[in-house]
Every structure is written in C-alpha cells, then in structure tokens.
Chain A
C-alpha cells in the first residue's frame, strides 16, 4: 500500500485521511475490492475467535442441518459446521493464493531479471523454456504438476506457482531490457558498482510497479485454480477445509436436498476472487499509466 499512496497522493497537504479519501473518490471499485480482500484476510486471521465449532468436528445429529440457529450457514452431511469450514477455508485459499503467487513471483523475477540484464545464450535458452511452459493452459499444467508431486498443501502451492513463472519472467525481462539502457545504470557502472549490485539495487526496484500489478492480477487466478484442483479431487487434501473440495463433496448428492452446501463455498470463492480482481484493476490504473484510459 505504501507505493500506492506515494504515487497517487495529490500535491496538497497529505494526511493519511486525505489520501484514503482521494483513493475512495477516484477508485470506488478498487476501494470496494480492498475492503473485500481485507475482510477475507481478517476472517483468516481471526478464525478461531469468530467460529464456534472446529471445522473438522463431525456431529451426525446435525447432518445436513438447515442454515440458522447454531449453524448460521447450515451443516454438511457429516454434520460439520459450514460457517467454520468457510472461515477456515479462507486460510487455505489465502495460503495457496499468496504462497503460490509469492513463489511464482520469486522465481519469475529472478529469471526475468537475470535473463533481461545479462542476455546472451542464457537469455535465449530461458526464453525458449518460457515459451514451452506457456503453451500449456494454467490448469492443465497445474494438474500435471499435482499428479507429479502428489496431493498435499505445499505441493498444491508449488503446482500452481510453477505455471505462473513465465508470465512474471516475461514482464520483468522486458522491463529490465528497457531499464538497463538508461543513464542511471551507466552511471552506477561508471562509479564502479559490480553488475549484480546494479541489477539488484537499481534495476530491480524499478520493476516493482509492474510486478505488483501482475501479482495482484494473478492472486485471483491462483485462488480459482486451487478451487478447481480441489474440486477435481487433486488439490488440497483432507483434513484441510478447502472451498473447492466442499463443492465436489456436496455437488453430486446434495444439490437437491441441501443447496446451501453448494451456494456458500462457491460464493466465498467468487467474492474473494472478485475482491482481488477489483483491487488489481485499480492498482493497474494507478501504477501503470500506459494502460490508463
């Protein structure tokens, strides 16, 4: 958020409040997105305090309980409280979303920065490799990766992170190519800095804006891919409550008798992704002036 405020702050006297107010007026949709994302983060952090039941606790007496009373969002076939499962599910979704986006960006930035800055045969080789990885749809690549790694929370994160690498590497590389020709790089070289130090100290910080835009945009799609993988039974395994898997469990049998088992987890996924997408759009408008309408 720090970058966002320094860039968008109007020239008049700046306070925390005036900046926020300006953001609200200029980007109402982005502000709504920020609120949604913040709500999900809070939900994940405060999970034990805002739920009454353990998300894995089964209770046959409330099997398929109607929403209301002790179970505001109802209970599933095994009598597990839906509200708890949704709240704890936010932890899984955010862990996978942030984890895989972070990991993908880490690899992508390293590859993009080095290949763009040093060029040569290394750059050629890396570009071909990125081409190959991009010829497979994200979900297909993630499916094959989960099959290769086996089902677990950390493997799901890796399986979603790897397919993200090429798009990050591409953006960082093209930015680096442009930046390394600029006078300040030459100046650093003239004062005797070594090449690695220039790449990290001077080029890298300047690629931050496009990286933030890209990472926010990818966050939503990683959450969606996790949901899809878990829905297909190849993502995060039990006992973790994953929104996607809740849908695959309830879909077939309970669509008729317990529609709330289908509605709530899906609504949670959609809202979380919608929030990150709104925020991502606003950040792109702010940080990437070329794309501004």
Chain B
C-alpha cells in the first residue's frame, strides 16, 4: 500500500516535470515574442531597442537556461514578472484565483445538485418518456457551447429585466456576489451537470442489475430507499472517479464564460496573456492548471483506494 502510494506520487512528479518541458517548449516555438509585438505595434522602434527589450526580459538567453531559471524560480515561489504589466506574476495571478475558484465551486455545486438526482431518475425510469426527455436534455447540455448559453442568458436579462448581469466592479456584499456569480455558474454548470447526469445514469443502470438490489427489493425496502440509498451509494463510486475529468471540463467552460460575463478571473486572464505572448503568465497559469488536474486525479485515486476495499485486496 505504502509502496504503491510512493510510486504513484513519484509518477505524478515525473508527469508534472514532463508537462513543464512541453509547455515551455511550445511557448518558445511561437513565431514572434513580446518584443516583436511591441516592435510591430509601435512601428518605429529600431532593432537595437528591440535587442534591449529582449535582454531586459531575458529572451536572449539560450532556451534551456530560460527553462532552468523558470523552474528554479518556481520552486522558490518566484514566478517572474508579467511582460505586460511588469508586476510580479504571482501578484497578478493570486488576486484572480478566488474569483475563478468561487465560480468553479458554484458551477460544480450546480452540476451535482441537478446532474445526480436527474441521472438516478433517468436510470430508474429507463426507456420511458421521462428517460428519453432527460437524455435529450443532457445531450443538448453537452452540445450547447457554454459561451452561447451565457450570451442567451444575457440577452434575456437585457430584454426582460433591463439589466446586464456582467461584472463591472467588485460586489459589495456576499449576497450580491452570490447573485452575480450564480448566472455564469449556471451557464458553466449546465454542461457539467449534463456530463454528470449521463455518467450517473449509466453507472446506476449497472448497479440496478445487481443481486443485492433484488434482495433489497425482496426484503421490502421502500422504493426511494432502494434507489437512492442502496443503489446510489454504490453507483456514486465511479462518478467520484471522474471528478478529474469534470475539473478539466469546468476549466474549459470557465475560460469562455468569464470572457462573456467580463469576470476578472484567472481563466480569462489566461486568454489575454496568450494573446499578448506574456510568457511568464501563460506558462505559470497552464502549469497551475496541470498541477490542479494531476493532484485532483491523485487524490481521487487515493480516495478510491480508501472507499472501495475490493481494490486494496487486489494490490
């Protein structure tokens, strides 16, 4: 068990190390760095000034030295400086994190609240009209681009309430914040809830066929108790394991939704940084996302080991 944990942990570090190289290399094959952008925008900068800028930003160093500098800084908590604002990258990223974090948490809550119960209902009523309707709804949830859903919601609000629920200034009370965030969170969460619903349904269908469910029914357990206690508790395990996929799914939704609702979170910041070729911001943010996804998957593996004794036996 301990050996497995350690091996799994070392593998995780190896994966992250590999990702850091991939990200770094990808960003360096970009045609044109920030000096080029400044150069072409201002038009009249002479080549010497451009070299000067490159020297200041450390872009004249060989790539592997730039990489070692980045990683060394990362381990010391020094993420470098944003090329655009010239502030420390950490100071640019940290204040934006809680905003995206709250939005993601609310979207996930939305997904669980709707996705799991509806998935159970769909499985219990398999091949009825209700099941068909729910399946079509969940499939359309996977088909609607979340930015379009966001735009549609904005349009409805403008039309019927005369108010655009986009972020203009930091909300004053927690209640205002909750109201303001709930709309984009629903736009992101709809997609996630659709995914969750489909997984819950197929997982439930699997469980409902098991012998212990028949036993529970035979001993006279109530309808709700069989479906929501006996069956769901067993069906939830596979659903938990896909939280990693769900997290990756959410990030994609956050990127476009923060753009639509003008929310100053990290996801929108990433897109802006990419457009500006702001390497320190891009590489650190992408690395941060990778660390999140990889550690979530690691934690889930551990949780799974703890929750399902059958797996521990096989090891």
- A residues near B, CB below 8 A? 29, 128-129, 131-133, 135-140, 143-145, 147-148, 150, 220, 224, 227-228, 231-234, 244, 247, 251, 255-256, 259, 262-263, 266, 269-271, 273-274, 277-278, 281, 291, 293
Contacts and interface: CB of A to CB of B under 8 A. Distances in A.
B147 A143 contact: no
A248 to B, nearest CB: 8
Contacts of A140: 251-252, 255, 270, 286, 289
A232 B271 contact: yes
Contacts of B22: 132-133
Interface in B145-170: 145, 147-148, 151-152, 154-155, 158
A129 B15 CA distance: 8
Q: Across chains A and B, which 6 residue pairs bring their CB atoms closest together, nearest first?
A: A266-B148, A139-B252, A274-B143, A137-B248, A273-B143, A132-B18
A83 B158 CA distance: 25
Interface string B87-113: 000000000000000000000000000
Residue of A131, A136, A234, A251 with most partner-chain B CB within 10 A: A136
Nearest to A138: B252
Interface in B12-34: 14-16, 18-19, 22-23, 26-27, 29-31
Interface stretch (B47-55, B134-142, B180-188): B134-142
Contacts of A256: 158
B151 A251 contact: yes
Nearest to B159: A259
Interface residues of B, number: 52
Given A128-B14, A131-B15, A234-B275, A270 B293 contact: no
B234 interface: no
Given A137-B248, A144-B286, A278-B139, A132 B15 contact: yes
Given A147-B27, A274-B139, 7 more contacts: A132-B19, A136-B293, A228-B252, A232-B255, A244-B145, A270-B143, A273-B143
B274 interface: yes
6 contacts: A137-B289, A138-B252, A144-B286, A228-B145, A273-B142, A291-B202
A250 B297 CA distance: 39
A196 B153 CA distance: 55
Nearest to B22: A132
Contacts, number: 137
Of B14, B29, B259, B274, chain A has the most CB atoms within 10 Å of the CB of B274
A143 B271 contact: yes
Contacts of B202: 291, 293
A143 B148 contact: no
B34 to A, nearest CB: 12
Interface in B227-251: 248-249, 251
B61 interface: no
B35 interface: no
A130 B42 CA distance: 42
Contacts of A234: 271, 274-275
Contacts of A247: 147-148, 151
A232 B256 contact: yes
Interface of B: 11, 14-16, 18-19, 22-23, 26-27, 29-31, 126, 132, 135-136, 139-140, 142-145, 147-148, 151-152, 154-155, 158, 202, 205, 248-249, 251-252, 255-256, 259-260, 270-271, 274-275, 277, 282, 286, 289-290, 293-294, 297
A293 B203 CA distance: 10
Contacts of B294: 135
A11 B160 CA distance: 58
Contact of A147 (B147, B148, B154, B282): B282
B259 A232 contact: yes
A129 B297 CA distance: 16
A131 B297 CA distance: 11
A228 B274 contact: no
A128 B10 CA distance: 12
B271 A136 contact: no
B30 A135 contact: no
Contact of B248 (A132, A138, A224, A274): A138
Given A140-B252, A228-B145, A270-B145, A148 B29 contact: yes
Contacts of A244: 145
B155 A136 contact: no
Contacts of B248: 136-138
A255 B154 contact: yes
Contacts of A139: 251-252, 255-256
Contacts of A232: 255-256, 259, 271
